[in-house]
Amino acid sequence: MLSESFFNPKTVAVVGVSENPEKLGAVVFKNLKDAEYKGKLYPVNPKLAGQELYGEKCYASVKDISEPIDLVVIVVPAKFTMPVIEDCIANKTKNISIITAGFAEVGNKDLEENIAKRCIENGINLLGPNCLGHISTYDNLNASFADGFPSKGNVAFISQSGAYCSAMLDWARKKGIGFSHFISIGNKAVLGEDKLLNALKDDKNTKAFVFYLESLKNGKEFLKVLKEVTKTKPVVIMEPGKSKKAQKASLSHTGSLAPNYTVLEVALKGSGAIQAYNTREMFGLLEILQYAHHREFDGQIALLTNAGGVGVLTSDLCEDNGLDIARPSDATIEKLKTVLSPEASFGNPIDVVGDAKADRYENALRILCESGEYKNILVLLTPQMVTNAKETAESIVRVSNEFKNVNIFASFIGGKRVEAGVEILNENHIVNFEYPTDATRLLGLLKSQMKFRGVKEVEVEIKKVPQNIKDAVKKAKIDNIPSLPQDVVNMIMDYYKIDYPKSGNYIDKAKALSFCKKIFPSSVVLKLSSPSALHKTEMKGIYLNIDSEEKFNEAWEGLWGSINKFKLEDASILIQEMICKATETIIGVNSDKNFGRVMVFGTGGIYTEIMKDTTLRILPANDFDAMVKETKVGTILNGVRGEEAKAVKHLAETLEKIQQVVLEIPEITAIDGNPVLVTKDRAVVVDFKMLLK
């Protein structure tokens, strides 16, 4: 478990310190000294043992140091790290940071796993390998090879990429942004984002978190901690890896494969995290979280501008990003009229018009702050004939300092003529956006996640499954078949009261025809049934609209022809009543390596992959009605163009029942229900596969 000894160690040893100040070990050691670290420092290098190195006695090995070390930083080639780990174990070291590269990211996975195993066995926290190290500004700890020491701030930055850390530090230095903690996690052999977030969630100096991640160490645990943390502190996460090439690059970079990106988006959204999609957004969100007076980004936003066109453009951007630009109250408008010219617009955007000087901006801004109607205000400025950007910026700073309950942001649009104003804003930590597009995008991201803050964990009662179902599933596993036989599927659907068509499985033609005649002249469908027949359409394995003996004979012969052609084992003919006047949907469940069971719902039928009208939930979930409404097919099911609404309530209940199936029968790794036909009074699972592999 991470403790104070990791973030604020009383003793630090650096293994691999060199006399050459440009070598990595020396850089780390000098960074510790330059940060005015208050604890004891021990340089370790067997070639220089007994000598004084950078003002401290050098040791041959960690095990030669007389006291247990809180933190050992290892900066030696990968092939020499295992003996150092053993020395740390002998010393009873509490925490290790391996900065060295050359492990799983280059295929040296066994060495990394062995080191992790030894550390876990001996209760040692391991950061890295292949990382920049870590910094705790309030404890004067710079156990990294970063260029310089950041100023103190209220944001903890945790990154899987060391190079990204360097870029962030350089950008933050220019912006005057500080950090509470700055941690590079590298390959995450032991310590991952879940453990670090959990350890820092109650840190008094950390008011927000920003993550750059290329993979997840423990997805389920990370989500659990995220949901707890986001109740009180914002968490921004940027995780690249949307494309296959990006996932391949991530594997070669840190030795970890990126998660399914769509599932990740759903997971982060539901946990209350704010997802940044590019570097510009991540940097911008960090700046807002550092300097905003408060972190309540819901409610109404006011736009104050000296240019009508910019106001209109920004209004469109606000609507695109879910920001509410409600009109001021009549009382507030009356007050604005006393300080603005008759040509001004009062509706929101509030247009102070092009001849506005700093005093007009300041007076209008103060009235908006005093009104209590807006938690966030965006001041837009373009350099017109009488505009004084510097004086206007000074006015904004005065009002912002006066009203700590309102976030005031700015977007000074232009070049040379707004430079002096932008400089004043930056010096006084008023976040200025070069373009309104960035302002509305980021404020929209922050607002959208407000509704997920404090979302409670979904709890589902797991009941015992009847023994006959357990035995049938167990037999299928022993027989090593990829999916459950249809009779077992039907048994499960009957138990969970999942609606499916009247049906029967036959190999005897006479019995099959007898079953069909009980349904004729209504139609039936004939389809081949075999554990190895997962895509029936391509096998010509489905015959629809069979309503006579003549059509039955043709379908029967055709299906047995396909069975023989594809050499399908344990095959039979499945006959079902046809469900008419129905809308096709799909319900599926799959297993994600990071988050467990994931349910998909959307447009079904043979065009599912083409339509791409689906939505996801990580299970367990309890908002199945909302899940249906999120899709286009859900809109259709609720009635469009005068059509009668379909059985949406039954459909949502079916989603819930299928959730129970996969939670109570864990041997089922995936489910494919396609199509699920929804009529005016039924949600009927027509084709249902339950996969075991």
Domain of 364: which CATH number? 3.40.50.261
178 and 35 housed in the same domain: yes
Is 246 within the bounds of a domain? Answer: no
Quick one: pLDDT band at residue 522, thresholds 50, 70, 90? confident
Is the pLDDT assigned to residue 317 strictly greater than 60?
yes
CA distance 379 to 394: 13
CATH number at residue 116: 3.40.50.720
Is the pLDDT assigned to residue 86 strictly greater than 50?
yes
208 and 357 housed in the same domain: no
Q: What is the H or E stretch that residue 280 is in?
A: helix 279-291
**What SS3 state is found at 415?**
coil
564 and 590 housed in the same domain: no
State the pTM of this model: 0.85
Chain-centroid distance of CA 356 in Å reads 44
When the pLDDT of each residue in the chain is averaged and rounded to a whole number, the result is: 93
- Sequence letter at residue 257: L
Is 398 within the bounds of a domain? Answer: yes
Write the pLDDT tens digit of every residue in 200-218.
999 999 999 999 998 888 8
355 and 396 housed in the same domain: yes
| Residues β-bridged to residue 43 | 14
81 and 136 housed in the same domain: yes
Is 488 within the bounds of a domain? Answer: no
Asked if residues 58 and 48 have their Cβ atoms less than 8 Å apart, the reply is yes
Higher per-residue confidence, 606 vs 124: 124
Is 515 within the bounds of a domain? Answer: yes
Question: 253, exposed or middle or buried, with CB in 10 Å at 0-12, 13-18, 19+?
Answer: middle
CATH number at residue 650: 3.30.470.20
* Listed residue (105, 69, 112) closest to 87, CA to CA: 69
Is 273 within the bounds of a domain? Answer: no
Q: Is 596 left (phi over 0), alpha (psi -120 to 50) or beta?
A: left
166 and 78 housed in the same domain: yes
CATH number at residue 508: 3.30.1490.20
pLDDT of residue 643: 85
Total domains, the chain: 4
Domain boundary among 536, 552, 578: 578
185 and 296 housed in the same domain: no
Is the pLDDT assigned to residue 96 strictly greater than 70?
yes
Is 256 within the bounds of a domain? Answer: no
> Above pLDDT 90, what percent of the chain?
82
Average pLDDT over residues 324-343: 96
Is the pLDDT assigned to residue 257 strictly greater than 50?
no
Count of other CB atoms within 10 angstroms of residue 462: 11
pLDDT of residue 251: 38
Write the pLDDT tens digit of every residue in 349-369.
999 999 999 999 999 999 999
Is 486 within the bounds of a domain? Answer: no
Quick one: pLDDT band at residue 311, thresholds 50, 70, 90? very high
Quick one: pLDDT band at residue 163, thresholds 50, 70, 90? confident
Quick one: pLDDT band at residue 454, thresholds 50, 70, 90? low
Is the pLDDT assigned to residue 119 strictly greater than 70?
yes
Is the pLDDT assigned to residue 679 strictly greater than 90?
yes
Is 320 within the bounds of a domain? Answer: yes
326 and 392 housed in the same domain: yes
Domain range enclosing 68: 4-147+161-240
- Measure the CA dihedral 621/626/631/634, to 10°: 120
Quick one: pLDDT band at residue 537, thresholds 50, 70, 90? confident
567 and 640 housed in the same domain: no
* Listed residue (672, 597, 630, 669) closest to 263, CA to CA: 597
439 and 539 housed in the same domain: no
570 and 444 housed in the same domain: no
pLDDT of residue 59: 98
Buried b (16+ CB within 10 A) or exposed e, 309-340: ebbebbbebbeebebebeebeeebbebbeebb
523 and 588 housed in the same domain: no
